[in-house]
């Protein structure tokens, strides 16, 4: 799993995003088709909106986006 530095500058933010990806993917693993899935970060997380990598706001934003993406895969 790779989260590019250009979208999440701080390592702690990249690691928090990776943990969210692992957690959400484990939650929906049984519902997904058997395949290799790639999660690609296509936009950055603004440091002014999410001051801390451990902030509940960042975790919630990442989790909601991942759930939306995985719901599209299930269809």
Paired tokens of 50? 């999410």
Would the pTM count as exceeding 0.85? Answer: no
Kindly state the helix (H) or strand (E) to which residue 12 belongs, with its residue range. Answer: helix 11-28
What is the total residue count of the chain?
A: 75
Query: What does the pLDDT profile of the chain (75 residues) look like in tens digits?
Result: 778 888 788 888 889 889 998 998 888 888 888 888 788 777 777 777 877 878 888 889 889 988 888 888 766
Paired tokens of 17? 């995003």
Which residue matches tokens 């990598």? 53
**pLDDT number for residue 74:** 66
The backbone torsions φ and ψ at residue 41, rounded to the nearest 5 degrees and listed phi first, read: -80, 115
**pLDDT number for residue 54:** 81
């Amino acid at each position: 799993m790779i989260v590019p530095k250009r979208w999440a500058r701080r390592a702690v933010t990249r690691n928090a995003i990776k943990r969210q990806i692992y957690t959400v993917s484990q939650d929906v693993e049984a519902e997904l088709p058997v395949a290799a899935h790639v999660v690609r970060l296509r936009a950055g997380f603004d440091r002014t909106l999410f001051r801390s990598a451990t902030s509940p706001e960042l975790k919630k934003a990442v989790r909601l986006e991942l759930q939306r993406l995985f719901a599209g895969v299930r269809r």
